[in-house]
Structure 1
Amino acid sequence: MAHPEHDLRDLQDPAATVLLTVECQRGVVGPESALPELAAAARASGALTNIAKLVAGAHNTSVQVVHAVAERRPDGRGASRNARLFRAAERLPVQQLTGTSAVRIADPVPVGDGDLVVRRLHGLSPLAGTGLDALLRNVGCRTLIVTGVSANIAVPNAVFDAVNLGYTAVVPADAIAGVPADYTAAMVRHTLSPVATVTTAEEVLRTWRRKRRGGPGVSPA
């Protein structure tokens, strides 16, 4: 459930809302993932299914969808190497190489003709140095819904960057995943809830359905 101090009134304007999926790509959360423990957590927790439902709901509500993909060139040019994570990724059996199936959006997440795909070759965040901020402003975004993986690194990076850039961040807690599986709930409670509106996928979808029907939407808390 949403935290009592928050409400979802910011989602009542679809034109000012963007749904962001983070690293929901085959090489990360697919069956042949470079990170099988993370992929298993994303599927077993229902997070990937909930992300798919949110993307489908966004398509039905004219909410802009953006897929943030992490990849690297085969020659590694431009890739970050200033952290253990990056150097370890170079040795993984599945590489997130540009143009390969590993960087395609994983099932069951649908990709619509109007969706935007933002690819990054460096860093930890889909918002830092990727051009995503400019795209969000160009489509009139004020509220950014952050979903995907991992709750350990990329998702909190995206939330903090969004808040620092002036967006209202919304996190459906059942549409993100990390490892170990129980870490996600603790991270949401202690790290993200002070800066983002924490909710569920169903509450977001319910808000959109009310808006489509012309209902009153969500009452202030």
Structure 2
Amino acid sequence: MPTFAQLREQLDPARTVLLTVECQRGVVGPGSALPELAAEARSSGTLHRIARLVTAAREASVQVLHAVAERRPDGRGASRNARLFRAAERLPVQQLSGSVAVRVAEPIDVADEDIVVRRLHGLSPLAGTDVDALLRNLDCRTLVVTGVSANVAIPNAVFDAVNLGYTAVVPADAIAGLPSDYTPAMVRHTLALVATVTTTDSVLACWKRPVRGGRAVTRA
């Protein structure tokens, strides 16, 4: 892991965006299409930690971006070139545009200043979406990646971010996948090679405003 000073430099609020990946009701909520993944994300505390990061990001003036996966009711434009997509078409809960399933799941909330990006195809929240252009317009240099799943979307997001020139930061306790022991192994042997791996508490400490004379000081 980097030193605190190195991490704090990477997480400069003016150049950082916090990304939540597929933290939607139809994936990690009580009516999930993937109940085992939802249970893991909740029982492990992952969703709670993501909610803490979202709140702290806003307080530190870090932009929050929510990436949601959905499909049109008629399926137009949806990917079908992998087993995962074909299996998703048969699930009892569908991530249909405009439905409850594609709303961001509690305890994570969406504020007016947040940006929500919805994709109709593919595996990554970056490839083929507006995210890269939005990040560049926001003058982003560091992307903090959180959410699900550690099996597919999270590594896709990290690899795409690195390929596009961003520094990826992964709070390892703010992502989840299946089985539970897969996530730490994937982080150690894969993501750690290309991203800065840290913890939720370390990110929160970097974004905490310094206190002078008993009063919080807002960073410029």
* Unmatched tracts of structure 1, length 5 or more: 216-221
Q: Which runs of 4+ in 1 moved over 4 A?
A: 3-6, 210-215
Residue in structure 2 matched with residue 131 of structure 1 by the alignment: 130
Residue in structure 2 matched with residue 218 of structure 1 by the alignment: none
Q: Percent identity?
A: 74
Whole-Å separation in 2 of the counterparts to 1:151 and 1:10: 26
Whole-Å separation in 1 of the counterparts to 2:2 and 2:91: 38
Whole-Å separation in 2 of the counterparts to 1:22 and 1:196: 16
How far the C-alpha of 1:131 sits from its partner, in A, is 1.2
Residue in structure 1 matched with residue 42 of structure 2 by the alignment: 43
Whole-Å separation in 1 of the counterparts to 2:156 and 2:9: 21
Whole-Å separation in 1 of the counterparts to 2:28 and 2:12: 31
Q: Does 1:79 align with 2:78?
A: yes
Larger RCO, structures 1/2 (Cα 8 Å, 6+ apart): 1
Cα pair 1:12 1:211 within 8 Å, conserved: no
Q: Counterpart of 2:83 in structure 1: which amino acid?
A: R
Whole-Å separation in 1 of the counterparts to 2:157 and 2:5: 20
3-state secondary structure, aligned to 1:193: helix
In the alignment of these two chains, the number of paired residues is 214
Residue in structure 2 matched with residue 219 of structure 1 by the alignment: none
Q: TM-score, normalised by structure 1?
A: 0.93
How far the C-alpha of 1:12 sits from its partner, in A, is 4.4
Q: Deviations over 1:71-115 (max 9, x none)?
A: 000000000000000000000000000000000000000211100
Q: Does 1:145 align with 2:144?
A: yes
Whole-Å separation in 1 of the counterparts to 2:11 and 2:90: 45
Residue in structure 2 matched with residue 17 of structure 1 by the alignment: 16
3-state secondary structure, aligned to 2:126: coil
Instruction: Decide whether aligned partners of structure 1 residues 28 and 182 sit closer, same or farther in structure 2, where only a CA change above 3 A counts.
Output: same
Whole-Å separation in 2 of the counterparts to 1:186 and 1:5: 24
* Unmatched tracts of structure 2, length 5 or more: none
Pairing 1:48-197 to 2, within 5 Å after superposition: 48-197=47-196
How far the C-alpha of 1:11 sits from its partner, in A, is 3.9
Cα pair 1:81 1:87 within 8 Å, conserved: yes
How far the C-alpha of 1:15 sits from its partner, in A, is 1.3
